[in-house]
Structure 1
Amino acid sequence: MRRRALVAAALAVPLGAPRAGGQVEEPLADAVRSALSAAVGESAPPRPSFDGIEQRLAYLRWLGEMSERLRRRKTDRHARIDFLETLWYESRRAGLETSLVLGLIQVESGFRKYAISRVGARGYMQVMPFWARLIGDGDVSRLFHLQTNLRFGCVILRHYLDRERGDLFMALGRYNGSRGRAEYPNAVFAARQRWLPPA
């Protein structure tokens, strides 16, 4: 019953305006800025590699299932698969659960590549423009590029998770600029239920 309520809450999240809050630009130590810059700057193709056939089959089952779930929001199959392959790669690269990142994207942008919030956050993961200056090359328009947006978003969420010593609730609040308030983390947790991998 509780799971059904969580799924219903996730589906009730409006697909209208992006949900990014007033994320705060915080001072970064030089070592942190350098590490984050290196993390977003490393280039690697978002192509998976596997140690065995079972892992590859599990990935292909996940890809097929998530593609079906995402079909209504992204009708072009090629764009949908490209999005999912990139998301899988970037979330794992940052040590994040893919279903959590999918839930965050659902809440933040409703899976809209060119979403812009009222405070200027951009793209799928609603990355604030100041991050392009702090840890990127300063080109804010690149935040609409699929891999760039997902990489920045995942690296930033990982940074906040590390800052909050693994407390996902607080890290999500920091990501949204609503640290300590329950509305946003609860919305992401509810949306994440929709994207849990097939059993």
Structure 2
Amino acid sequence: MSQSIVAKRYAVALFDLGTEKSALAEIDAELRVIQEVFQENKEVNEFFNNPRISIDQKKQFIRDTFSEVSAETRNLLLLLADKRRINDFTDIVEEFTAMKNEARGIAEADVYSVRELTEDERKNIEEVFTRKLNKNTLRINNIIDPSIIGGLKIRIGNQIYDGTIGTQLSRLEQKLVTANK
């Protein structure tokens, strides 16, 4: 079974449980903190990937370390340790976040630009794309890319809106080449 299918199944179960208990925001916040721990702490990943450490030891570590999180989040981690799927955690968080955002009418956008966007530019992009995508909110993650000569490239989900000068020049070049044939 592919990683994304497995991650989606766990995320759907957690999303349904969070919806049922009206705890989506709490679970989402906890998942993000735990994801940050996994991403920034190499020792934690080595611990969970070490075959010499028993599953019981890993589960006890989860109980001790994440004692303050909700039962739903802790039980997810314990289940992942049991099934030897702790490495799927990041994918599960991404799927969960996507479902939560979809339910609330939120889209997340990576906006590539040559410099930091101003607040007005962010608002303009948000207005245009919330209408275009029929969403309530657009969360913008501005990524500085010095290779962009000018313009913007926006990635929302699996859609890319490329208005960079480099892309426009490439399109112009293609038109000129096909026109001269």
TM-score computed with the length of structure 2 as normaliser: 0.24
RCO higher in structure (CA 8 A, sep ≥6): 1
Return the structure number with greater strand share.
Answer: 2
TM-score computed with the length of structure 1 as normaliser: 0.22
